[in-house]
Chain A
Amino acid sequence: MRGRGGAGFPTGVKWSFIPPSEPLTYVVVNADESETGTFKDREIMEGNPHQLLEGALICARAIRASAVYIYLRGEFWDIAAALDERIAQLYDEDLAGEDILGSGWGCDVFTHLGAGAYICGEESALLESLEGKLGMPRVRPPFPAQKGGGLYYEPTVVNNVETLANVPWIMEHGAAAYRAIGTEQSTGTKVFCVSGNVQRPGNYELALGTPLRELLYDCAGGPPEGRQFKAVLPSGGSGPIVPTTEEILDTPLSYEGCVAAGTILGSASVIAMDDSVDMTWVASKVTKFFRHESCGKCTPCREGTYWLDRVLDRILAGEGRAQDIRLIDSVAKNMQGATLCALGDFAANPIIHTIAHFPADFQAHFENAVEVASAAEAAGD
């Protein structure tokens, strides 16, 4: 199984990185769910909290962790309260706490609330936040699974809610049964969050590899009356946008299928847009999100998102300069690969890919634009 939080890293491999003889290890559940367009973990925790708790405890048993911390975004305080009740039941049933079922192994389970910061969904920022610090990414290595890189410097597995919710099923039915679902490289089912311009937005659990067409039309009911789909963000605000051509609609929704189509599956938060939507406005919306959510640690992301947002505002106000498209494309490309966490890359995506796929949407804002003498002048106001 590949991790369901977005990166798609093999879960078993992640667990195997924990050094076997470490006396103190932790499991941290990432329930920060803040990616634009993602609302699946919320429903899993509301609808089936025991499945998550069971998966987390199986992981804890596998690495002999001494505690599980479930980090929920602060707005999910009511879900945390409901989870706390279920956790109390675990203690009553001898499934958590000291000497679980007489096995000689003990593990505590706790919930922890964030307080409003997208960046805390990034695993090293999440660990910082859990330690009572600003949610800013750490320099890696050491990685969380290594001594010095995890929670309180101890080896730690950080897994998404949906990842752990898959574990009990695999334990019960076996790996072969799980692999029979999905594709060779993307096994099992995935919860797809569909939002935006569709008739029936919501969560749909499908086998990985299901074509995008089936999700958008059969599940979500297609575009609003009288409209056509124009573009889709398969991975929320952070992944590359793609136009909804016939070929793209046939894309199998698997990790490898999305990469072949020029995008990523990520957390499978599918935001659909119809033909009434201006992609320059989409780029601006997503950029405003990242400008607000940049933690400010790395200069390219902090400054890049700030300037991209200002130039996009200028373009949308009809005051764009002829070279502004080149300018924002260049700023975005300079952010890529230049930051400690993936947020800098995410923030570049809405710019680079909307320009590449929908140049006419940008050009439409430049009817009266003039070329300004120098790039430096263009960057100023």
Chain B
Amino acid sequence: MAERMAARLMDATTPLTERYAERIAAAFAKYPDKRSAVMPILFLAQETYGYLTAEALREVAALCEMDPTQVQSIAGFYTMYRERPKGRYWLQVCTDLPCALNGADAFYRDLQEYLGIHEEGGTSADGLFTLEHVMCLAACDKAPMLQCNFRYLESLDLAKMKAFIEEKRAELEREVANGAVAGEGA
């Protein structure tokens, strides 16, 4: 059944169904109700479009047989969905109590300073890094920590993050030199 559905989705050919037909069909196969697949499919839409555009929300709504407004409310309620474009690297620093007892607030301020990002959720001038706070990520024994595009970086300090940031900046420079990107970053 999942294969037949995947084939049907491929025929519809939107960027989302073209890229993820099999994974969408697999998501629907898990539940007796199409609506239950809305969260996994929103993640796939986010990967396809970079963030949840109005077009992406309409497409997910059609797939899950929901109203686009309902899908938008889901996207707004859960913090892992991006409703606006972000930098190529989305840095979310935990500053909840256990992390803060181990220097996470100062770590966050140092990162802000180093990246030149002064508002919550702001993006660095080169478009590479978006920086914001996040609530407890269940890694309290490895503070300070953050997640970068949903991958955990743990037991951090500013020196480690500087190395990480410079490596990503160098990567971007190489891409620009090779003509892979226009120089604006993400």
Q: Within the assembled complex, what's the spacing in Å between the Cα atoms of A245 and B97?
A: 21
Given contacts A34-B136, A131-B33, A277-B101, contact A74 B78 (CB under 8 A): yes
Give the distance to chain B from A280, nearest Cβ to Cβ, in Å. Answer: 13
Q: Which residues of A contact B5 (CB under 8 A)?
A: none
Q: Which residues of B contact A113 (CB under 8 A)?
A: 39-40, 43
Q: Are B140 and A193 in contact (CB under 8 A)?
A: yes
- Indicate if B36 sits at the interface (CB-CB under 8 A): yes
Give the distance to chain B from A74, nearest Cβ to Cβ, in Å. Answer: 5
Q: Which residues of A contact B136 (CB under 8 A)?
A: 34-38, 118, 237, 289
The interface centre, meaning the residue of B64, B96, B137 with most chain A CB atoms within 10 A of its CB, is B96
Q: Are B97 and A132 in contact (CB under 8 A)?
A: no
Could you mark each residue 110-140 of chain B with 1 if its beta carbon is under 8 Å from any beta carbon of chain A, else 0? 0000000000000000000000000111111
Q: Are B35 and A115 in contact (CB under 8 A)?
A: no
Given contacts A75-B137, A113-B39, A132-B37, contact A271 B78 (CB under 8 A): no
Q: Are A237 and B43 in contact (CB under 8 A)?
A: no
Could you mark each residue 3-37 of chain B with 1 if its beta carbon is under 8 Å from any beta carbon of chain A, else 0? 00000000000000000000000000010110111
Give the distance to chain A from B93, nearest Cβ to Cβ, in Å. Answer: 13
Given contacts A112-B30, A115-B79, contact A293 B135 (CB under 8 A): yes
- B92-108 contacts to A (CB < 8 Å): 96-98, 100-102
Which range contains the number of B residues in contact with the other chain?
35 or more
Q: Are B78 and A117 in contact (CB under 8 A)?
A: yes
- Indicate if A194 sits at the interface (CB-CB under 8 A): yes
Interface of A is mostly: mixed
Partner of A115, one of B33, B37, B43, B137: B43
Which range contains the number of A residues in contact with the other chain?
35 or more
Q: Within the assembled complex, what's the spacing in Å between the Cα atoms of A75 and B78?
A: 12
Given contacts A132-B35, A237-B96, contact A116 B140 (CB under 8 A): no
- Indicate if B141 sits at the interface (CB-CB under 8 A): yes
Could you mark each residue 68-90 of chain B with 1 if its beta carbon is under 8 Å from any beta carbon of chain A, else 0? 00000110011111000000000
- A82-134 contacts to B (CB < 8 Å): 110, 112-118, 129-134
Give the distance to chain B from A271, nearest Cβ to Cβ, in Å. Answer: 5
Q: Within the assembled complex, what's the spacing in Å between the Cα atoms of A289 and B95?
A: 10
Given contacts A75-B137, A114-B78, A115-B42, contact A286 B97 (CB under 8 A): yes
Partner of B138, one of A38, A116, A135, A277: A38
Q: Which residues of A contact B100 (CB under 8 A)?
A: 285
Q: Which residues of B contact A237 (CB under 8 A)?
A: 96-97, 136
- Indicate if A42 sits at the interface (CB-CB under 8 A): yes
Chain A residue with minimal CB distance to B141? A201
Q: Which residues of A contact B98 (CB under 8 A)?
A: 36-37, 195-196, 201, 271
Q: Are B135 and A289 in contact (CB under 8 A)?
A: yes
User: Which B residues lie at the A interface, using CB under 8 A?
Assistant: 30, 32-33, 35-40, 42-43, 64, 66, 73-74, 77-81, 96-98, 100-102, 135-143, 147, 150-152
Interface pairs A-B: 9 shortest CB-CB: A115-B78, A116-B79, A132-B35, A195-B140, A195-B98, A201-B141, A116-B80, A132-B38, A115-B80
